[in-house]
């Protein structure tokens, strides 16, 4: 087994859009707080915990979470909460864009229609499951484990990552259902947040992720 080059401490990933570019769905100041303060805080707390186990700095965040059952018990909760928080937000930023396509197309559209009947039926199912999530968490569109061509919707509580599941489902889409993601703009209305969020999803990139899963490429 080759030992990977050290990658830690973990760093805040740059965004592919400016803080003002997702308005009016996400206001510039809310996006700055979400990225530069909330996401950064997860990274800072994760890095602090890893100082006690610097050998883990050799792992990418994806490797760290996939090895979750081997994480030393004294930092297990921190890795779950803040490692998961780092991974989930990194995923979330990647699937957003200021220049969205009108909707899913090509292989992605075909896969969605095959699994859910239609694009609208998929959106309704996603809105319903995300809306029904109790407390804070995330809603994901995933490829089913061992059935790469079937899609499914999964919700996870708090900052749990798909990567920590016993059989990780490759994620295609991630929607942040923490109040900090939508409350400033949409108040208590999760349905309004999700319906607005569709308009900033980078469908072309989500299709690339699907093709990556089919080709066996690992991605976060
Ligand atoms: Mn968040």
Confidence check: pLDDT of 181 > 70 = yes
Strand partners, 173: 141
Spacing, Cα 181 to ligand 1 middle (Å):
5
Confidence check: pLDDT of 2 > 70 = no
Rounded Cα–Cα distance for residues 54 and 151 (Å): 37
Spacing, Cα 1 to ligand 1 middle (Å):
35
Spacing, Cα 185 to ligand 1 middle (Å):
14
Spacing, Cα 155 to ligand 1 middle (Å):
14
Mean pLDDT, the chain, as a whole number? 93
pLDDT greater at residue 111 or residue 146: 111
Spacing, Cα 20 to ligand 1 middle (Å):
17
pLDDT tier at 196, thresholds 50, 70, 90? very high
Rounded Cα–Cα distance for residues 48 and 45 (Å): 5
Confidence check: pLDDT of 3 > 70 = no
pLDDT tier at 1, thresholds 50, 70, 90? very low
Q: What is the pLDDT of residues 75-108, one digit of tens each?
A: 999 999 999 999 999 999 999 999 999 999 999 9
pTM assigned to the model: 0.94
Asked whether the beta carbons of 22 and 31 are under 8 A apart, the reply is yes
Q: What is the pLDDT of residues 15-34, one digit of tens each?
A: 999 999 999 999 999 999 99
Buried b (16+ CB within 10 A) or exposed e, 204-219: ebbbbbbeebeeeeee
Q: What is the pLDDT of residues 53-75, one digit of tens each?
A: 988 988 999 999 998 888 999 99
- Residue-level pLDDT at 7: 65
Residue 53 structure tokens: 């186990």
Spacing, Cα 2 to ligand 1 middle (Å):
34
- Residue-level pLDDT at 142: 96
Helix, strand, or coil (residue 153): strand
Spacing, Cα 194 to ligand 1 middle (Å):
14
Rounded Cα–Cα distance for residues 187 and 191 (Å): 11
């Amino acid at each position: 087994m080759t030992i990977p080059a050290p990658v830690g401490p973990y760093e805040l990933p740059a965004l592919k859009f400016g803080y003002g570019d997702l308005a009016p769905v996400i206001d510039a100041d809310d996006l700055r707080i979400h990225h530069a303060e909330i996401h950064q805080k997860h990274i800072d707390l994760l890095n602090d915990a890893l100082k006690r186990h610097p050998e883990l700095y050799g792992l990418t965040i994806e490797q760290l979470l996939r090895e979750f059952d081997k994480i030393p018990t004294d930092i297990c909760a921190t890795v779950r909460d803040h490692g998961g928080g780092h991974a989930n937000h990194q995923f979330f930023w990647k699937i957003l864009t200021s220049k969205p396509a009108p909707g899913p197309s090509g292989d992605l559209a075909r896969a969605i229609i095959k699994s859910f009947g239609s694009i609208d039926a998929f959106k309704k199912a996603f809105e319903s499951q995300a809306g029904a999530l109790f407390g804070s968490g995330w809603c994901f569109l995933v490829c089913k484990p061992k059935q790469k061509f079937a899609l499914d919707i999964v919700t996870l509580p708090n900052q749990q990552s798909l990567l920590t599941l016993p059989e990780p489902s490759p994620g295609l889409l991630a929607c942040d259902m923490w109040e900090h993601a939508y409350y400033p703009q949409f108040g208590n209305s999760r349905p309004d947040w999700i319906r607005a969020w569709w308009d900033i999803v980078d469908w072309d990139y989500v299709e690339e992720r699907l093709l990556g899963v089919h080709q066996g490429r690992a991605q976060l």
